[in-house]
Amino acid sequence: MYFNCPLILQNKQKQSLLEFGIDDIMCFKGLFKKTKGENMTNETKKIAEFIANGNAVMGLEFGSTRIKAVLIDDEHKPIASGAFDWENSLENGIWTYSLDEIHNGLATCYANMKKDVKDKYGVTLKKMKAVGISAMMHGYLSFDKNDKLLVPFRTWRNTITGKASEELSKLFNYPIPERWSISHLYQAILNKEPHVKDVSFFTTLAGYVHWQLTGEKVLGIGDASGMFPIDISTKNYNKTMIKKFDELTAKEKFAWKLENIFPKILLAGEKAGTLTEKGIKLLDRDGDLASGIPFAPPEGDAGTGMVATNSVKERTGNVSAGTSVFAMIVLEKDLSKAYNGKIDLVTTPSGSLTAMAHANNCTGEYDNWIRLFGQAIEACGFKIGKGDLYENLLAKALEADKDCGGLVPYNYISGESMTGFSEGRPLFVRTQKNTFNLANFMRAQLFTSLGALRTGMDILFNQENVKIDKLTGHGGFFKTQKVGLLMMSAAMHTPISALETAGEGGPWGMAVLAAYLVNKKNETLDEYLEKTVFANSKAVTVNATKEDIDGFNKFFENYTKGLAVEKAAVESLA
């Protein structure tokens, strides 16, 4: 081998590598250097060819703090990804992102994914089989007839639409949350904002980005259901409510009617346009992408979360538990009445009615307690890693009395509309006779994290008789999996599962929706997910015992009674 190198031939009398000069070393480097293709495994080469042939599918989602893109293969496995971190800004009392930030985030996120493809597979991404765009739901992006943005983007985070939400909920006899797009539009009307007369089109963030890439003013039904109520029978905006809105605003004499300024609704699996030359310039700064790539209907993050957890079929649902917690249950029928401020109604990406119960507070307060216990350990001269600290303390809950020994904490760092609080005060309450030990304390902290959620779910369980066959959990609450699943199952009195392969969350869910567009074979979305995407996925399922469920119910009884104590704390401690 060495005699292929002329310099080594010339210097073969040298006895040690230390005797070789730089030219000799460069010759060695040339001998042993391999191309990227030679370094690839057969599997990597297969993926590289798959991408080069334009068969990969991309999902890209705009989250509130991160934009992420995921590229998947024909088995729906992630093969590349890219991300871009961003933050909303508060301008003139409005939480917003500028159009420049949106465009830069889109291009940078895509560029990072494209680089990941190049680094892993040695391929320049030029073609894709399909693309899907998703984003945080709700909010308000309005444009005039010349497609000019009329006011800065108003995100879901803004709480400036209280009066509009209240009036519309009463008018429609249907829950219209403050964050919904129609609440933003009507509040602007109530505020006499001059831009409203010029509105020609309004949409969500996902709808806007999709429009810029394809030229199509459309929206997936799941995202549209966070703009305005949907008539499940027609899979379109509720015409009766549109008529009521137009009658309500008739005195304003606007040139537009509500139905004409909405994006068109599409269902999962329907083609929503193709990548245009303008879109290429926005998405791929290098201009390598080919035009004509088909796009799935743009969706909201709730819908992509349902897809990512295989929760789009009736009587299924998912629970996302972290700093806040919400459950989404796909309903068999409409609710008997509106539960304003308690239960929101949206749809799956295929248009099935879904109830959402949302609580503002979940793990934040027990995070504070665990941090305090960690400081106590350090004060005693010991060290413990954060992961071990959580694992050991949360596991103590498994040793506790089923009802937490009567201990009742409240995790209300912020207000909790589900239980009627505009402000919160974290509390810990017990009587002298309670069994006060670490195990009961930790179980009580976990149970109270689910107290407000259970308040909302009881509306569905007890008043609406909603049945659930399967719930899938995801989020930080389930990191100590055995503990989190058991506590959630006890609170929901339903089996709870966690997928061992969680994919890439919402962006992955959007990629799956794009794959469904081009790969479906006369099958519904839930059939496609069940038979194709999740057929071989593994899940851990926990079904709480009757004793665990009875224990939570006893805790919840005390929790509900003690809300008067929480109210007194809010009123007394400013």
pLDDT, mean of residues 77-100? 94
Cα-based distances in Å from 362 to 355, 439, 449, 451, 475: 19, 19, 4, 9, 11
Confidence of residue 247 (pLDDT cuts 50, 70, 90): very high
- Residue pair 77/535 in contact by the 8 Å Cβ criterion: no
Q: pTM of the entire structure? A: 0.83
- The overall average pLDDT reported for the chain is 91
CA-to-CA distance for 223 and 304, rounded, in angstroms?
A: 10
- pLDDT at residue 479, as a whole number: 85
- Residue pair 278/113 in contact by the 8 Å Cβ criterion: no
pLDDT at residue 34 above 80?
Answer: no
CA-to-CA distance for 421 and 466, rounded, in angstroms?
A: 26
pLDDT tens figures, 494-517: 999 988 655 568 899 999 999 999
Q: Is 8 exposed, middle or buried (0-12, 13-18, 19+ CB in 10 A)?
A: middle
pLDDT tens figures, 366-403: 999 999 999 999 999 999 999 999 999 999 999 999 99
Q: Is 493 helix (H, G, I), strand (E, B) or coil?
A: coil
Secondary structure string (H, E, C) spanning 353-364: EEEEEEECCCCH
Cα-based distances in Å from 551 to 248, 405, 438, 478, 563: 50, 9, 17, 20, 19
pLDDT at residue 525 above 90?
Answer: yes
**Structure token digits, residue 12:** 């073969």
- pLDDT at residue 39, as a whole number: 63
pLDDT tens figures, 297-336: 999 999 999 999 999 999 999 998 888 888 999 999 999 9
pLDDT, mean of residues 76-105? 95
Confidence of residue 17 (pLDDT cuts 50, 70, 90): very low
pLDDT at residue 178 above 70?
Answer: yes
- Find all residues with CB under 8 Å of 52, minimum gap 6, and list them: 123, 126
pLDDT, mean of residues 144-163? 94
How far the first Cα of the chain sits from its last, in Å, is 81
- pLDDT at residue 5, as a whole number: 43
pLDDT at residue 229 above 50?
Answer: yes
pLDDT tens figures, 119-128: 999 999 999 9
Cα-based distances in Å from 194 to 151, 184, 201: 10, 14, 15
Q: Is 245 helix (H, G, I), strand (E, B) or coil?
A: helix
CA-to-CA distance for 443 and 65, rounded, in angstroms?
A: 31
Task: Find residue 133's DSSP bridge partners.
Answer: 60
Q: Is 279 exposed, middle or buried (0-12, 13-18, 19+ CB in 10 A)?
A: buried
Looking at this protein, which amino acid is placed at residue 87? Answer: E
pLDDT, mean of residues 280-286? 97
pLDDT at residue 21 above 60?
Answer: no
pLDDT at residue 350 above 50?
Answer: yes
Q: Which helix (H) or strand (E) holds 37?
A: helix 36-39
Confidence of residue 231 (pLDDT cuts 50, 70, 90): very high
**Structure token digits, residue 408:** 């009742």
pLDDT tens figures, 44-61: 999 999 999 999 999 999
- pLDDT at residue 120, as a whole number: 97
- Find all residues with CB under 8 Å of 573, minimum gap 6, and list them: 425
Place of tokens 């589900």: 418
- Residue pair 54/71 in contact by the 8 Å Cβ criterion: no
Domains of the chain (ranges, CATH numbers): 2-33 (no CATH), 138-203+228-261 (3.30.420.40), 364-448+557-572 (no CATH)
Packing angle of the helix pair 239-248, 162-172 (nearest 10 deg): 120
pLDDT at residue 4 above 70?
Answer: no
- Residue pair 560/523 in contact by the 8 Å Cβ criterion: no
Confidence of residue 407 (pLDDT cuts 50, 70, 90): very high
Q: Is 391 exposed, middle or buried (0-12, 13-18, 19+ CB in 10 A)?
A: middle
